Homo-oligomer: A and B are copies of this chain.
Amino acid sequence: MYAPPIANLIDMFARMPGVGRKSAVRMAFYVMGLPASEAEAFADAVRVAKETVVLCETCQSYTDTQPCAICSDAKRNRAVICVVENPKDVEAMEKTHEFSGVYHVLHGVISPIDGIGPDDLKVRELLERVAAEDVQEIIMATNPSVEGEATALYLAKLLTPFGVKITRIAHGIPVGADLEYTDEVTLARALDGRREITL
């Protein structure tokens, strides 16, 4: 019973991840209540982001410069590449302020069930990069899911011939979490990844 243009807008919002029907309605009515100039700015933001943002030709992350800010930063250590699933993961890593290397974004993980193979990911680009540059270490920072693990192992196998050190980020109990409420898989990984305490 909503006017068709509103119903259409609600549908658009409802398609977004994590947005339910009620949220979509609230968001659509928020847009309807905006001054015309702000609604226009919102529509433009979508358009501009889509038009000006491209994949960095080096790391395949989203960027509006070529190469991206990280790849063109002289202070970054180009010999260490952190392989992540998505551009969002780059941001998550950057927030730690602990990583001074560069990234490579796969744009997904190998998932036969979803019909996603290595050719659907930025795997070739990674191999070309490792072949062309002087890379010393590749950190596999895909998620600790079945697909993330499989992808990390697959890439590790592919990259072995290059004689580069390949590592996997540690999985274990999150800082601040309670042992009692940690699932057994995580706990097993935490146990497996234990380190000697050096005093």
Using known A-B contacts A1-B69, A43-B43, determine if residue A49 contacts B31 with beta carbons closer than 8 Å.
yes
Q: Which of B12, B41, B68, B69 contacts A41 (CB 8 A)?
A: B12
User: How far does the alpha carbon of A62 sit from the alpha carbon of B28 in the complex, in Å?
Assistant: 12
Most B C-beta atoms less than 10 A away, residue of A4, A16, A28: A16
How near does chain B come to A75, taking the closest CB pair, in angstroms? 14
Is residue A9 contacting chain B, with contact meaning CB distance below 8 A?
Answer: yes
Copies in the complex: 2
Which one of A19-27, A125-133, A158-166, A182-190 is at the B interface?
A19-27
A42 at the B interface (CB under 8 A)? yes
Report A100-152 residues with CB < 8 Å from chain B CB. Answer: none
Cβ B53 vs Cβ A32 within 8 A = yes
The 8 Å CB contact of A5, one of B3, B34, B49, is B49
Q: Do A45 and B9 touch (CB < 8 A)?
A: yes
Contact for A25 among B36, B43, B49, B88, CB less than 8 A? B88
A2 lies within 8 A of chain B by Cβ = yes
Do B62 and A3 touch (CB < 8 A)? yes
Q: CA of A112 to CA of B56 in the docked complex: distance in angstroms?
A: 52
Q: Cα distance A90–B1 when bound, in Å?
A: 9
Question: Is there a chain B Cβ closer than 8 Å to A199's Cβ?
Answer: no
Q: Give the one of A9, A17, A70 with max B CB within 10 A.
A: A9
18 A-B residue pairings within 8 Å (CB atoms) = A1-B70, A1-B90, A2-B62, A3-B65, A5-B45, A5-B49, A5-B53, A9-B45, A16-B27, A18-B23, A18-B27, A19-B27, A25-B88, A25-B91, A29-B88, A31-B50, A40-B50, A43-B44
Which residues on A are within 8 Å of B, measured CB to CB? Answer: 1-6, 8-9, 12, 16-19, 23, 25-32, 34, 36, 39-50, 52-53, 62-65, 68-70, 86-88, 90-91, 94
